[in-house]
Amino acid sequence: MSDIQFELKGHTLPLDHAWALLQGLLSIAPWMADADVGIHPIQGADTGKGEILLNRRAKLVIRFPAARLADLEKLSGQSFTVAGHSLTLGKAKVKALTQHTPLYAHLVCTGSQDELGFTRDILSQLDAMNIQTRFICGRPQMFFDGEKIASGYSLMLHGLPIEHAIRVQQQGLGLHRKLGCGIFIPHKSINAIGAAEAV
C-alpha cells in the first residue's frame, strides 16, 4: 500500500463531504467501488457556514495497493463534482507509507454508538491483527455514510513497533475506508488529539 497525492483545484466543499466525494470519484473511476482503496479526508479552512475553503495547497490523497497505480495515474486532469462543487485533479505524486509513530486517524468508525463500545471494538481489532499499541480516543464525530448519520472518534496510536505501524497503515481500522475513516497518518505528538484517557 502507498499514498497517491493529487494537486486539487477547487474553491469550497461541504464540511461533511466524504460520501459526496466518493460519489464524485466513482463518476470518473467506477472501479473504485470494488477496490481496496482509502480516501483521506480533504483538509480546508472551516468557513463557519457548513463548508471548508480549499487553498492552493489542498490535496486529494488516496491510499492504494500497487496494482491500482496505473488506474489512479489516469485520473490526473479529470474533473468531477462533489455535491455541486467542482473539483479538478492535478499532478499526482506517490508517497510510501511512513515508518514513524505515533499514528493518528481523523475519524474511526466501528459501528458502536458509545465510547465504551468503540474502545472494546478497537481492542478486539488490534488483538486480531496482533498489533501491540496504546491508544487515545478523541471527541465523537458525526458523518453521513450514505444511508444514515453515523458516528466515530479520532484515534491516536502510540508506543507501537514500526512493523506494527506499517501493518495498521496498510489495513486500517474499523469501517468506511472510502469515506475517510480508519486511515492512519504520522503525528508529531500524542498530546494533539485532545482530552481523553489512554488505554
Residue 142's DSSP bridge partners are: 151
- Asked whether this chain's domains 2-96 and 103-193 adopt the same fold, the reply is yes
Q: What confidence score (pLDDT) does residue 192 get?
A: 45
Domain spans in the chain, listed from the N-terminal domain onward: 2-96, 103-193
Average pLDDT of the residues in 142-159: 94
How distant, in Å, are the alpha carbons of 61, 140, 144, 152, 166 from that of 147? 24, 19, 7, 15, 32
pLDDT digits (tens, 9 = 90+) for 78-102: 999 999 999 999 999 999 998 888 9
**CA separation for the pair 56, 10 (Å, rounded):** 9
CATH numeric code, 103-193: 3.30.70
Q: What is the pLDDT of residues 5-16, one digit of tens each?
A: 999 999 999 999
Find the mean pLDDT for residues 134-157: 94
36-74: per-residue pLDDT in tens? Answer: 999 999 999 999 999 999 998 999 999 999 999 999 999
pLDDT tops 80 at residue 173? yes
Q: Which of 1-5, 119-123, 166-170, 186-190 has the lowest mean pLDDT?
A: 186-190
> 2-96 domain in CATH 3.30.70.1890?
yes
Residue 12: the pLDDT is 95
